[in-house]
Structure 1
Amino acid sequence: AYAKAFPQEAAEFTRRMKGEMPSDFDAKANEFIAKLQANPAKIASRKASQNAIEAFGPLLPEFLGGSADLAPSNLTLWSGSKPINEDAAGNYIHYGVREFGMTAIANGIALHGGFLPYTSTFLMFVEYARNAVRMAALMKQRQVMVYTHDS
């Protein structure tokens, strides 16, 4: 009934739950990568990851994530970021200083399906998230973990 009433939304829901990328993602990602290769820039790795998030975020409506209280430093806020609030709309989670909780939440989001979670913190703080990172690896979870400079 839902698929008949809302065919586009049902197709998008099915794509996301299957873990498939949008049909044009590969072409657009390759175009972005080719531009970078043609004109390499000497930038900090955290700026490079911000550029990637900025390029891929608009292509992936399922991209959902945030940072452990370090967004201004690890550059995970992008132009399409909308903080999640009471109405659950949005795509950016302000986790606060809780690297383990952030990564464990991303594990749960990945296990549920339908979203591509990303998390970010300084490289040295991965120690706080280690058990959740290990579980994500053991479960072969589909998520992006951005670890930036060592403060």
Structure 2
Amino acid sequence: FPSTSFSLFSFLPPFPKPNDTVVEMAGKATEPTKKDIMGLYQDMFSKRALYLTDELTATSKNYKLLKNMNKLTSLKYLKMKDITLNISRQLKDLNQKYITVQFYRNQIILTEERVIVLEQTAYKLDEYSKKLEAKYKKLG
């Protein structure tokens, strides 16, 4: 390596030699000036005001978001209400049609029962006529 005066620890003060006495003199403690205190107060209050403003802005945005969500939810419920009312109307119409058709259905069932009785009577009559025909042929 070429020799350089750069050192990795150049930012540190040099180590004292074993016989050197190191004495640090403390600076005289002074009261901060009113101007310094006012500057610190102003800085603190401006940062506090910025923080509170941001908090209020975030809260306001949250309330706006909730308001929009409530509006959307309300619209969804209105749509669901419309759908439910439509289904209810259609169900009432269907029930009314069923009542109307029920009369005709009952008439069809009654007619079917009468046809069955008539069919049984026709079979019995056919059987009786065959017996009579057989007797007539025997006699004749």
Identify the TM-score tier after normalising by the shorter chain.
under 0.3
> Which is helix-richer, 1 or 2?
2
> Which is strand-richer, 1 or 2?
1
Structure with greater Cα Rg: 2
TM-score by length of 2: 0.18
Q: Which has the higher contact order (CA 8 A, sep 6+)?
A: 1
